Structure 1
């Protein structure tokens, strides 16, 4: 209630943060809670017994809601030293202008199971709200498919004690490759594809459960792969009578499934919430699936990553052009380079002043211009033909013609020398 009441008083601009310091004895916060983080851009902090205690709580709060050095290192995981990276760095998706999300239902035994899933309603109710929030970051497209006779490619182990089949943690990496060959969505995609698979095991391998590294069953019966997506195993209850006619009609509980997929989507974008002290209380983002301050952190990360990408792209372009002395830079390529540099400088300046939205837009423009310059068709055909390759191509053509010419010149020179050595006859 306090978060909703204070929301109209907060600064609604992207990247802003409003902190309310309340007395230590205030009843606004529950007993034992010193820091409350709302789902907007505000937080309540107890004053504490001293300024040192208040400063400690504010530093902890900034680590949660702001964009600290560890988050910068995670955004630049492919450029920062390993010593500066945390355990989860490099697992989130790289910045892109768009993403494609594919929900796939895998039914390897359609003769036994007639699976029904209302994916359209589930996407509209659970996925679209969070995609609407993420539309500031990138463009999203969603599609779905049903694949029959698609198996995981790994034979599960039967456990006699539980009368179930188990997939160990070390076998999970071998599950993705056979399934990915059936998806067929990566080949024609211009943007990264996020795959979310719902697998209904066949009757001969039911029920099927996933184990973690310690051998304990995973509560969600699902796992995710960084930069790729996630897979959830949906077990079907065995029929009460062995004489039940087949196929069994199975209606998927989309609420339970989408709860897992949305959690995996947050992990892919680096929005997982770290373990916090017991005195911290975080408000649930609700149906939107994303708090305002989490969106700000994501925009910060993508802006910093875009600026670094522009720097790397233009540096690579300059190094390539230095190696090719006879290359000609067209005016439109030069203008794209100038535009990329100006946009990157504008993004850095906007970040310094706290204008997050304009900084992110400038960084996207810089990435687009730098890639246009780097992949310009007028440069590509010259980049693949340096001088050594030109010699390798033309020497086999001209050498056969040059050999007889050189031999003829050598013969003429020898004859001229012999003619000079012969004495001149006088009559």
Structure 2
């Protein structure tokens, strides 16, 4: 009897010991070893990023040339003046624009630079004296008697970051300096809208984040036409020869790229990396049958049918699988002898002067006619030397549109300097850099906040140290970019914004985020229960027996007392 009691107690002790080991050691160890690893993320800073508060700042210098202000007015020229504008886009996004304007009179060297025959030469001479920082503007106020500007022009916008503003003599005489600046302010605002950032451009850069107002339809169209910001772009020039038996085409694409495209791409280098390749495709047809116009004795392509031209050709272009960068396609199509000449007509049935069209976020196509080489005794194939200057002029104009380089329509009295060999003015590059910086910051914040929301909703996604590092780097870069935009340091703001969008996309598209995405807790328990249940059932039943035995003994003791 004693032996049975001892064995029973020994069994109860063993059961309790095993149950204690399972509960105190086994379950925590199992929970710890099977839990999803989640590195620390700056959640509070990410939540603050959801409310995007941007403040753009630009330095403006107003310089009065000789003959624009009197000696008394010159003594009262203010040193600096700050103007701020605020636009509340929605509850999550607000924009502030600040112009810090400095005033002074021209130096002797600047007066000599302004004493040039033409405005273009004066712009070059002023640029040689001092180069304005990226994102800043210099406006020279010149007298009415100056011969730099034509009579019907009040403002000349040069290739650099300089503008010439004519001031009439009636504005100067009998006016105080305060009144003089008040009269100049409307024109100065117009110059800033043309040469610096504008609300329409910045709002268009935020088009994926906010809903634009109806008065921004032009900005929406421009933003939808241009490629989104990217770390790099692949540019492909293709020559389409539908009938090699008719034409033997020769194009110096390598020389044309070096002469015409490289200066523009070198200036756009701060925005992205560009790679260029070319190809010749034989027997490549447009896929649309042109119509013969008897009145002009030429074949025509209507604007309505241009949308059907790209798909058949695109199948022959090949894919750039080695890079994930967007591809800009520029196609030169030489019609065969049976469909020459071939012209593109707009909606008003008028010929397009460039004989080319472009497709938003895809590229452009130009039709190159060689019908003047055909004669009664022509021998096929005809050797054709393509005029690359004409072709690259059209392609570079399309490239500007596809990259978002679209100067605004100048107000009345404005004269914009013609394009230089670089293909883009300094102030046009600044406008694009402002827009791309804001776009990058907005995209990075949206990506990071979306990733944080996803990780918060799905608790079993692994957050490894690399993802946490990329997220922290993106948050830091966004904060630095916003600070540099507020300080007016456009170069640094663009660089930090590029780092932010690269880090945010690297974290968002990391493959490790999908490892446990389809392994939720219910599946985890379904796997482990068959393993632990056979071991746990005897322990649980033994615990029930122990509890029943204790309850029985307690009742017996109670009965003896009664």
**Fold-level match, TM-score > 0.5?**
yes
Q: Rate the CA distance shift 1:188–1:328 in 2: closer, same or farther, 3 A.
A: closer
Deviations 1:137-194 (A, max 9, x none): 1100000000000000111111111111110011001111111111013444310000
Q: CA deviation at 1:47?
A: 2.5
Range with bigger deviation, 267-276 or 99-108: 267-276
Range with bigger deviation, 77-86 or 328-337: 77-86
Alignment match, 1:148: 282
Range with bigger deviation, 172-181 or 42-51: 42-51
Q: CA deviation at 1:353?
A: 0.4
Structure 2 stretches lacking a partner, 5+ long? 1-120, 172-179, 534-562
CA distance in 2, matches of 1:320, 1:314: 10
Q: What is the aligned counterpart of 2:381 among 247, 258, 263? A: 247
Alignment match, 1:179: 313
Alignment match, 1:47: 167
Which protein is bigger by CA-based radius of gyration? 2
Q: What is the aligned counterpart of 2:464 among 330, 336, 339? A: 330
Q: CA deviation at 1:52?
A: 4.6
RMSD of Structure 2 on Structure 1 (CA): 2.2
8 Å contact 2:461–2:514 — kept in the other structure? no
Q: What is the aligned counterpart of 1:67 among 197, 222, 225? A: 197
CA distance in 2, matches of 1:340, 1:241: 65
Alignment match, 1:96: 230
Q: CA deviation at 1:387?
A: 5.9
Alignment match, 1:86: 217
Matched, 1:310 2:444: yes
- Secondary structure of 1:86's partner? helix
8 Å contact 1:10–1:41 — kept in the other structure? no
Alignment match, 1:380: 514
Q: Rate the CA distance shift 1:330–1:202 in 2: closer, same or farther, 3 A.
A: same
Range with bigger deviation, 270-279 or 226-235: 270-279
Q: CA deviation at 1:316?
A: 1.4
Q: Rate the CA distance shift 1:47–1:86 in 2: closer, same or farther, 3 A.
A: farther
Alignment of 1:270-289 (within 5 A): 270-289=404-423
8 Å contact 1:46–1:54 — kept in the other structure? no
Q: CA deviation at 1:77?
A: 2.2
Q: CA deviation at 1:86?
A: 3.0
Alignment match, 1:165: 299
8 Å contact 1:113–1:249 — kept in the other structure? yes
Q: CA deviation at 1:300?
A: 0.9
Q: CA deviation at 1:221?
A: 0.3
8 Å contact 1:37–1:283 — kept in the other structure? yes
Alignment of 1:16-415 (within 5 A): 16-48=136-168, 49=171, 51-83=181-213, 85-87=216-218, 88-386=222-520, 390=523
8 Å contact 1:129–1:289 — kept in the other structure? yes
- Equivalent residue pairs, number: 397
8 Å contact 1:75–1:305 — kept in the other structure? yes
8 Å contact 2:224–2:361 — kept in the other structure? no
| TM-score normalised by L of structure 1 | 0.88
Structure 1 stretches lacking a partner, 5+ long? 403-427
Q: CA deviation at 1:11?
A: 4.3
